[in-house]
Structure 1
Amino acid sequence: MTHILEADISVELTKNSKLKDIDFNNLPFGKVFSDHMLLCQYKDGAWNAPKVVPYQPITLDPSAKIFHYGQSIFEGMKAYKDKDSNVFLFRPLENWKRFNISSKRLAIPEIPEAYFMEGLKALLKADKDWIPTAPGSALYIRPFVFASGNGFHASPSDEYLFIIATAPSGAYFSGKVTVAIEEKYSRSANGGVGYAKAGGNYAGQFYPTQLAIEKGYNQVVWTDDTSHEYIEEAGAMNIFVRINDTLITAPTSDRILDGITRKSLIEIAKAEGIEVDVRKLKVSELVEAAKNGSLKEMFGSGTAAVISPISGFGYQGTDYELPELETSYAKILKTRITDIQYNRTEDPFGWRVKIQ
């Protein structure tokens, strides 16, 4: 069965809500978890009906294949409340589509749209009071799936668990971010899984990032895997570079994630009359722009921070600072996209989805 209505999803409400113990004015990012989660099991060749249950630990056998072969992917989303306490999602079908693109690449059975969307709606209704209303805050949503079947044989699992867990989170302030342009390590490679939101992609980033932190930077800018000549991503985010009045971002590929925030910003920028150039950008071009003063801005884009401005970068032993702009593209675009997400303005793109 692949068709299901929200009313068909069983909901077991917790008897011990943690809600009263939460300080919604001081929420860290992704460390406080809501009362419920969505749970769905794949077994005997099919997905069972999803259900909403109290948030709880998961018991797995030591031979569960997730521990040995890393079959696991995830998504990142947010739910928002407007001033009238209406609840909205932002382009959720794009998350579902990418979830299945990632699943297919890791030989994980795809999730039916109704299971994902109707299950998510049921979960959000159960935990509506967990969606914060402080400025910049939202309910972070983490759908994920992993191999739960047992066995040491190197092959796809025969059982999986699909879960959606949520975490009320405050505004994501990154401050001034400096980055090191990576010259040795690669985030991903042609023909690999860089375009998928696979857990291993992020695990592989931690060590090079730690090396950059030890040198005084906050994050790494990833370059291509063969020549390290081209700018690709910034940490776990897509990257934008403004040279003069043109906004440049790398095209998606086997190596680069098709970020939902990224492609939304591209559309908003074009609607604002900002020239956008989706093309490969050489590190040498970036350095030259920094030297001659034509480099105006760099910023990362993603679900958590939306936009994270970069104040400077290091390359081959030299640090380059970016100017502080009174009116930046980063500020303009972040205002436009968050106004849509929080229902503060019209949505000319049809991206906002209200949870009835």
Structure 2
Amino acid sequence: MKPFAAALLAWFDDHGRHDLPWQGTQDNGRRDAYRVWLSEIMLQQTQVATVVGYFERFVAALPGLRALAAAPEDQVLALWSGLGYYRRARFLHRAAQLCVERHGGELPRDFDALAALPGIGRSTAGAILAQAYGLRFPILDGNVKRVLARYHGIHGHPGASAVEKQLWQHADAHTPAARVADYTQAIMDLGATMCTRTRPHCGTCPLAEGCVARRDGLTAQLPSPKPAKTTPTRATVMLILRDTRGRVLLERRGPQGVWSGLWSLPEAADIDAAWRHARHHAHIDDAAQLAPFVHVFSHYKLRVEPLLFDGATAASGIADNPGLRWCNAAELATLGLPSPVRKLLEQLEGHDT
């Protein structure tokens, strides 16, 4: 076995993570492909400590691929609510449906067929095939990029095509033919727990001897950061239309843009527009401006000004609009809501009680 892989696997045997809920094996000794796939999608942009609870709730409700494919989108989004990057959930749902339609209700073992499914790129496909089926495919997630950039002393932002090409070459060269599932988990674990973004544990790293960044004192510089851009701030007014029964009016967001397909609060560009929007949907008398807050996305900040219209009465026509619905607290818990919206409504309910 290659020295890089051998050192990593020896470290993994003693210090790697072996008890994650998606690592359980079946009778054939392989990990369950559905659970591996679900974990890989959840772990995109999200840390393991956060994912575990969501993963366990998700598989308890939807234990297999066919159950996911048959589930209503609202249920899938509700189970995902709070994890963010909701397009991952919609891609997961659609990919499950395609597996039922085209692949006999299973994730395909063919790399091209797997990578063609929504939300599954080259690295995710490799991770699934390596961990579920023991097939030799490299991976290159964020943790692996950091390990390889430091180990080989590669400068330049890992997202740049030329740099990423180099990293893929190294990832493939280091991937062994044996124990590929363990190796895949090992290199992800090393990046997550040892070769961390700040304050890496170089003194106890199994790859320290050959690491260029450690040798040259470059661990703080590698991998090279993405060129800085100014983060813009956008503003919106969220309308909380609440009737005398305590129900809140929700509006399903369109298929494009942030939080697409989720149920959320109606929005307006400013206070005047909010009043016009509110009067269109309900009979109202007064409003209270609640404390504004800022929600941070990956590419911009959203400044939200909540406007509460209490004691509203539904205007005619809402019942016939599938994109609008009045929901009580119990119904809210079953829907996929953006996490800041759910938090806002929970705070409002807690304050009222």
TM over 0.5: no
The structure number with the bigger radius of gyration is 2
Greater fraction strand:
1
Question: Which TM-score applies when normalising by structure 1?
Answer: 0.25
